Structure 1
Amino acid sequence: MGEHRGGASSVTHNSVAGNAVIAGPLVMAGRVESLTLPAAPPGVTPRQVPQPSALFINRKDELGRLKATESDRRAGRTTSRIVVVSGLGGMGKTQLVAQWAAGELEQSYPGGHLYADLEEGRRDGAVDVSGVVAGFLRSLGVHPEFIPAGLGERTALFRSITAGRDTLVVVDNARQAAEVRPLVPGAGLLVATSRNALSALSMDGAVHIVLGPLDERAGVEFVQSWRVTDPDGAAAVLVRLCGGLPLALRAVGEWLARRPHLGLNDAVRALGTDGLPRLEDGTTSVNAVLDMAYQSLPDPTRRLYRLFGWLPGTTVTSSVVTAAGVPDADAAMGDLLTANLAVLVESADRPRRLRLHDMVRAHAREVVREIPDAERDAALRAVADFCTAVVAHADIRVLGPGRFRLQAPPTRTLEELCPHEELFTNGAEALEWLDAERGNLLALLRIAFEAQWYDTVWQLCESLWALYHSRKHHADSIEAHRMGIEAAQWAGRADVEMRMRNQLARAYYELGRYDEATRELDAAGELLDSAADARLSGMIWETQALVALAAKRPDDARTLFTRALEANEATGDRHGVIVQTYNVAQALLAGEHWQEAFETASEAAAMAVESGDDAMLPRLGIVQARALHKLGRVESAAESAMRAAEQAAARKLYAKLDQALGVLAEVAASAEDARLRAACEAKLRELRRDAGVPSGDG
């Protein structure tokens, strides 16, 4: 069958003969079947639960309950898929779960062991659960382009993926049931540690295990594992003075390890006859023991300890420690690890990350109260300057140097900023580093905002778009850009305020919160007259057009995209011209102007070929294919979709490859080309499998 080439007014929707042949069914299907997909990442089963300490305290009864719960679940004697381990801070909840996972479950749970410390993602008491689920999805092999935007969709995908393979999920520092429920796998078990009982989870059939202080027998057994002599029952006295708290006993053990000439009686005398003091709520304070541990550290390590008391966020790397002025950062970090006051944190990026136990961190905050404010401010300012520069470098690595930015490029190279540690070498590694630093950077933004370092705030916000947009961390983006807007106002920068409002509007747009996006865009629109660079106006018009397109107002979208196009033409931004021409074509397609949409996309494609903007070609090819399909030009539609698929595959653009194959399958279906349709559907299943998405999702 030949193609129908009439104008748009003479086109009938899907006017394709039932026995149409698309460029020879064997030829086109063969091209699909021979399409080389981007190489899937190595299939690594996550094992993220922290490794247990070598000095584990044998909680035989509690371990027994965990083992019994697992046995009952596997034998079908219980349907419970949640275990809550609760107890006061310093009781060893995480260590108990880590010991159980390492000792009993190493070969179990084929879906893997996932772990999250909810304290790292807590913002003003609340946890970005959506971000936690997104992290789990990436760990399970889901390509970032296939991770949905909203919590509900992410949770549904997470449960679909884990439904077919038992998965262990461990979450530390949960405060309420609502933080836990979305993290329950489709098949397997969730173990949550908490200082609270999380009683509401009883309605979900949760098993509750309460971890209390060590009794004398278990405590003495732990003290004797230090291989010290125990004259006159001093170990039992020490356990009583420490209130049976494992964390306190560990700190005493480290204090003695640094004083080999002393014994248990000396530790007893150091603690005094009353032992650890009591807090107002009747619980035991470990500060007296931590004071002993802190004083026993070398001076550089004490400086690092104090730094934890000042710094926002929960983890540090060697580069941050060095930037803050701590000499021999690696040795200081090693001292805290050896003293069991800190742990190494698993992350997907290059550098080693260190985190203090939460009670040790609380003690560090007490210690620094006695340090002069000038020392604190100098350390924070140095860290803020360091992070602003490194985040800017990461932004350039991820989005390229050609992106329009209001801030000047960093004055120091990445090698100058991090002479002893390589943080990232390319865009993919830079994105992983940004993601690993996400909680720290948002906490730093809060500190900088409170300190009125307004330039630091908006510069960080501008650079963090590389992370927030790429990884869809919309909750973080909203909080950050609200601060960025106010910082811009205090700094008297209308141009910055426009960019901050536009980036905030994009987060709302991605979440489908179009009214809120419109409010931010309207406020930015009031500043258009003060925009010295036309690209700022173009950005606002583009986002307004995207909202209009989502709201099914294609004519409004076309008008706004055209304005954005003209703004990019005025500044000579070739890439921007191609992008906005593509957007105009999308609006024409949504408005059912098929011929005009095809011609506009073709014009943009010619510009992209001429300027070497190859990444835009698959997008434009998809628009061309859809327009041609509506025009009844079946063979050309199939060829455009096929070419877009090949271009997307060559550039590892998973989402665009998925779209192109989907369009080609639609064309094949309307032409009743069963061979081609089957080839497309098979390739789509292969692609989604490689992208970690179950068939039918994403």
Structure 2
Amino acid sequence: MTVFPKTGRGGMEALTVTDLTAALTTAVRKPLAWNSLSELINGAAEGPGHPLCEALMALESEPASRSRAITLAQVLLERARVHSEFGTALSGWMFDESATAQDGPGEHAGEIRNVVDSGRLSGTVVQAAEIHGGVHVLTEPATRMPVPRQLLPAPSDFVDRDTDLASLHRARAEHRGASGLIVAVTGPAGVGKTALVSRWLTSIAPAFPDGQLYADLGGYSLGGPQLPSDVLGRLLRSLGCAHVPTELAEKAALWRSVTAGRQVAVMLDNALSAAQVRPLLPGGRDSLVAVVSRRRLTGLGLDGAVFRALDVLGSTASAELFRRRVGGCRASEDPAAVRRIAALCAGFPLAVCVAAARVAARPRQSVAALAGGMTADARRFESLRVDGDSVVESALDDSYRALTGEVARAYRRLGVLPVDVFGVDAAAAACAVSRPRMQQLLDELVEASLLEDAGNRPATEPGFRLHDLIRLHALHRSRSEEGEGTSTEVVRRCLEWYLATATAARYLLAPTHRRMRRDYLFSPVRALGFESPDAALEWMNAEGPSLMRLVRLASERGWSDVCWQLVDAMQPWFLRSRPYDLWVESHRIGLAAARNAGHAEGVSRMLTTGGSGLYNAGRLDEALDWFTSAREDASHRGDRRAKAQALHGLGQTHRLAGRLDLAKALFTEALDIRSAIGHRRGAALSRLCLGDVALAGDRPDEARLYLARARAELTAVQDRYDAARALAFLGRAHAHPSVRHPDEAVRLLVAALEEFRAAGSVHWQARVLEMLGQTAQEYGASDAARRHFRDSLRLYQPVSPGDSERLEGRLRKLRPEPTDG
């Protein structure tokens, strides 16, 4: 070791711009020397905007720039001229840097030097009055800090994240920015964000020889989020900085300086906000920052971040993760129970791992026993405990506590909603807030990864959904914090919004149909508006299954009025989509509800529209019972319009049974009543059916008279659906062997097909294609017939097994297709 007297390190007169520039040019490439200079400058400068700091950062950004080195040297010397203490410290730094440069890696490289200046002692110092001869101090060589490798261990059981990993690798490969890459991986609690990022960063560790750092920002901890200043202190010390400033701005500047020339990766886990992350961004262009958060952190987009939202695992991957955790032997004992547990965990890896841990820790408990314990919603979280801690529920509780009051209230109420996917309007109605405010609340929940954007809904309405476990958590919070009364109100408001919107769609799709009363507890209800009948039908087709669920729910709750009225509002969906099982089930429920509500017109409507569902489903005897009850009820009440509707249904049922004379008599009686009371559309429908009966009885001329008039009257009242039906039957009348107008028949049928496409009726599109096939077959065009029958079959297969079977029979009866050779 060498002991230098104070005068041996030179003074201000020894420093020149040329010498200092040379030292700076060398030091900027040496992290320890540069770190020492940065500490010196940060201690002297009043803030990051000081000329010293600006000149320092300018040289950091362009280390090879001699002009920037000269500028920094000039600023340093000017500071030293005014402040002698700074000059002494700068002189000491200059001397140490020169000595280090001269020693290089040779014999003095391991020696310990001391610095003695007016305000600071470092290294080994000997204090004595007089020294005679040499002084030898034996010290241990300075211990070099290891390169930090702080990442959490990557999980060994890692499944189904290939797409996500590929996306992260691609983001790194495509990065071309002047600053380091920032990747934000977001998603709900327990979805596997930390595991994914740990796995990714571990796989690319060789690309960061200067270290991989980890910091838990504590965004959702009970103690509150970590302060950026505290995190910076730990990060700086991890890279060997012994003297860390106290102010956040100074720490951030030093952090950027220290990392400017390094290749480091930093994982910031459990981040709460972009503002918390921003001071922690390193300064080097070769650095990488991976931010993990339950929030979307969209503010990091201003810093050039790349975003990757992590979704839950699929059912197969969840089952595979469970199998790996418990062992293949135990999982293979009951594969069905494994799949059930995977489904109940809703794709959350945390939940799957907790469930697997419970099974693994209980070798005598069957997998089926755990699955049974998880089935009830009220016990699901209890089944996901480890060592007495409800791990999954606690993770969601952390996210919930971070919500503001009104956002938390919306979260609780959305958990009560009886539909899986909902739009802004439905949520606003259920939560009793305005649409603009509801949009803001939903955005907050999406940002917190507690709500998922489900894409555009029908009629261009954006949709949202809660994952199963999150929905269950929100439901628990609602029950514990608000009570059953609030939950009931939310469900009723939601039901009434769907009733109002389905009714609006019905009136738009069938403007001439008789309108029935609607009963609302929470009026006025703001229904969704539709720009066109097509938009209304699109919404109804998409929401049909949800509407059916609401019908069942209303029946269970004893809300009879809403129940039967909702069934009535769904009629356009039943007619166009032909879900026969739901058509019949809904009307059984609706009929009971209307009777329970004591609403006579509701009972009549349920009997007639329900009877239509029964005869369309092929249940002719049951349909006759329903229409007979409807006729007797209408006669008893003196309701001639309802009686005509019942007669019409009886006629349709007998027509389908092949009893043409009886059908004709019933349709004629219905026509007389409808004409007498001025029910123009009803009379046109009776004529349409009389034309169909005449055509089936080989009376095509009579049929054409009925059908042409029905077509004109239905078009006049803007019933485009039934007008298209009349046109299709008219086409078949022109194809009759006694008329023999095949070209006109095809023209009319093609026109009817286009009208049904516009109306959105898949069933009648298939029916008209079948008529085109029949016409082609009758006139010897087997290839055209086969093409039409096949097109018809493709449309029938998803909705009507009976019709599909009939089409398959028609195809079998065609002569075989010619074969080559």
Task: Find out whether 1:331 has 2:440 as its counterpart.
Answer: yes
What SS class does the counterpart of residue 159 from structure 2 fall into? helix
Equivalent residues of 1:578, 1:604 under 8 A apart: yes
Q: Distance in 2 between matches of 1:456 and 1:546?
A: 29
Which residue of 545, 552, 556 maps to 2:658? 552
| Matching residue within 368, 388, 395 for 2:506 | 395
The answer as to whether partners of 1:348 and 1:432 remain within 8 angstroms in 2 is no
* Equivalent position SS for 1:344: strand
Superposition pairs of residues 283-298 of structure 1, within 5 angstroms:
286-298=392-404
Alignment match, 1:643: 748
Distance in 2 (alpha carbons) for counterparts of 1:565 and 1:193? 62
Could you give the per-residue CA deviations for residues 314-338 of structure 1, whole angstroms, max 9, x where no partner exists? 2322112221224621222223223
Give secondary structure in 1 for the equivalent of 2:570. Answer: helix
Contact 2:735/2:745, CA 8 A, preserved across alignment: no
1:510 is the counterpart of 2:616: yes
Specify whether residues 373 and 537 from structure 1 end up closer, same or farther in structure 2 by C-alpha distance, changes over 3 A only: same
Secondary structure of the 1:310 match is coil
Amino acid corresponding to residue 747 of structure 2 in structure 1: M
Q: Tell me if structure 2 keeps the 8 A contact 1:638–1:664.
A: no
Q: Is the 8 A contact 1:392 1:410 kept in 2?
A: no
Match of 2:486 in 1: 375
- CA distance in structure 2 between the partners assigned to 1:502 and 1:93 by the alignment: 54
**Are positions 1:457 and 2:563 aligned together?**
yes
Gaps of 5+ in 2: 1-153, 165-187, 196-310, 324-328, 358-380, 799-803, 812-821
Q: Which moved more, 1:605-614 or 1:496-505?
A: 605-614
Q: Is the 8 A contact 2:655 2:663 kept in 1?
A: yes
CA–CA distance in structure 2, aligned partners of residues 535 and 586 of structure 1: 22
Measure how far apart 1:172 and its partner are.
Answer: 9.8
1:320 to 416, 423, 426: 426
Three-state SS of the structure 2 residue aligned to 1:527 is helix
> Given residue 490 of structure 2, which amino acid in structure 1 is its aligned partner?
A
Query: Which stretch of the first structure deviates more once superposed, 594-603 or 320-329?
Result: 594-603
Tell me the TM-score normalised to structure 2 length. Answer: 0.48
| 1:466 and 2:577 aligned | no
For 1:628 and 1:243, the matched residues in 2 are separated by 65
Spell out, residue by residue over 1:374-409, the C-alpha distance to the aligned partner (whole angstroms, 9 max, x if none).
43343333333322222211111222x211122269
The yes-or-no answer on 1:354 pairing with 2:464 is yes
C-alpha distance in 1 between matches for 2:194 and 2:634? 56
SS of the equivalent of 1:379 reads helix
Tell me the distance in 1 between the aligned counterparts of 2:655 and 2:451.
51
Q: Name the Cα RMSD after superposition.
A: 5.3
> Judging changes above 3 Å, is the alpha-carbon distance between structure 1 residues 691 and 211 closer, same or farther for their aligned structure 2 residues?
closer
The residue that corresponds to 1:178 in the other structure is none
Once the 2 structures are TM-superposed, how far is the Cα of residue 285 of structure 1 from its aligned partner?
Answer: 6.0
CA distance change for structure 1 residues 671 and 375 in 2, over 3 Å: closer, same or farther? closer
Return the match for 1:63 from 160, 184, 190. 160
Normalising by structure 1, we get a TM-score of: 0.55
Which residue of the partner structure matches residue 258 of structure 1?
Answer: none
1:63 alignment partner AA: D
Greater CA drift, 296-305 or 345-354: 345-354
Q: Distance in 2 between matches of 1:192 and 1:513?
A: 43
2:526 to 409, 412, 417: 417
Verify: 1:310 aligned to 2:310, yes or no: no
SS at match of 2:464: strand
**Which residue number in structure 1 is paired with residue 474 of structure 2?**
364
1:660 shift after superposition:
5.9
- 2:461 & 2:576 partners in 1: Cα distance? 21
Q: Which has the higher contact order (CA 8 A, sep 6+)?
A: 1
> Equivalent residue for 2:450?
341
Tell me the CA shift for residue 457 of structure 1.
Answer: 1.8
Q: Deviation digits for residues 49-88 of structure 1, max 9, x if unmatched?
A: xxxxxxxx97865339999xxxxxxxxxxxxxxxxxxxxx
1:385-437 Cα deviation digits (max 9, x unpaired): 322222211111222x21112226999999x826xxx6532122222222333
2:415–2:466 CA contact under 8 A, matched in 1: no
Q: Deviations over 1:611-656 (max 9, x none)?
A: 7767655544543454455452324x54244334345436746776
| 1:500 matches 2:606 | yes
Whether the 8 Å CA contact 1:62–1:209 is kept in 2: the answer is no
Quote how far apart the aligned CAs of 1:576 are: 1.9
Q: Does the 8 Å contact 2:415/2:471 carry over to 1?
A: yes
Q: Secondary structure at the match of 2:160?
A: helix
Does the 8 Å contact 2:322/2:352 carry over to 1?
Answer: no
Q: Is the 8 A contact 2:734 2:740 kept in 1?
A: yes
CA shift in 2, pair 1:661/1:449, >3 Å: closer
Indicate conservation of the 8 Å contact 1:628/1:634, yes or no: yes
Secondary structure of 2:461's counterpart equals coil
Q: Amino acid of the residue matched to residue 463 of structure 2?
A: R
The verdict on how the C-alpha distance between 1:611 and 1:406 changes in structure 2, with shifts beyond 3 A counting, is: closer
Letter in 1 for 2:506: D
The 1-side partners of 2:590 and 2:685 are apart by: 26
1: distance between equivalents of 2:518 and 2:629? Answer: 25
Alpha-carbon distance in 2 for matches of 1:380, 1:541: 39
Contact 1:92 1:247 in 2 (8 A): no
% identity of equivalent residues: 22
Q: What do the CA deviations read for 1:542-564 (whole angstroms, capped 9, x no partner)?
A: 22222222222222222222233
Match in the other structure for 2:128: none
1:618–1:645 Cα contact (<8 Å) kept: no
Aligned to 2:407: 301
- Cα deviation, residue 463, structure 1: 0.7
Counterpart of 2:411, as a letter, is: Y
Give a deviation string over 1:577-632, Cα, whole Å, max 9, x none: 12211101212222344443344334435655777767655544543454455452
C-alpha change, 1:193 and 1:90, in structure 2 (3 Å) is: farther
Contact conserved, 1:588 with 1:596, CA < 8 A, in 2? yes
Q: CA deviation at 1:497?
A: 0.6
In 1, Cα distance between the equivalents of 2:661 and 2:391?
66
Q: CA deviation at 1:499?
A: 0.9
Q: Is this contact kept in 2: 1:454–1:490, CA < 8 A?
A: yes
Distance in 1 of aligned mates of 2:161 and 2:191 = 16
- Matched to 2:472, the amino acid is A
Displacement of 1:522 after TM fit? 3.4
Secondary structure in 2 aligned to 1:402? coil
Give, in whole Å, the separation in 1 of the partners of 2:771 and 2:495.
Answer: 47
Check conservation: 2:688, 2:726, Cα contact below 8 A: yes
State how 1:237-256 maps to structure 2 within 5 Å.
Answer: 244-245=353-354
The one-letter amino acid of 2:159's match is E
Q: Could you say if the C-alpha distance between residues 369 and 623 of structure 1 is closer, same or farther in structure 2, counting changes exceeding 3 Å?
A: closer
Change in CA separation of 1:668 and 1:436 when aligned onto 2, cut-off 3 Å: closer
Q: AA paired with 1:649?
A: E
Structure 2 counterpart of 1:390, one-letter code? T
Task: State the distance in 2 between where 1:433 and 1:516 align.
Answer: 31
Larger radius of gyration: 2
With over 3 angstroms needed to count, the CA separation of the structure-2 counterparts of 1:346 and 1:191, relative to structure 1, is: farther
CA drift of 1:525 comes to: 3.3
Q: Report the Cα distance in structure 1 between the residues aligned to 2:398 and 2:192, rounded to whole angstroms.
A: 23
Equivalent position amino acid for 2:744 in 1: E
- Letter paired with 2:470: V
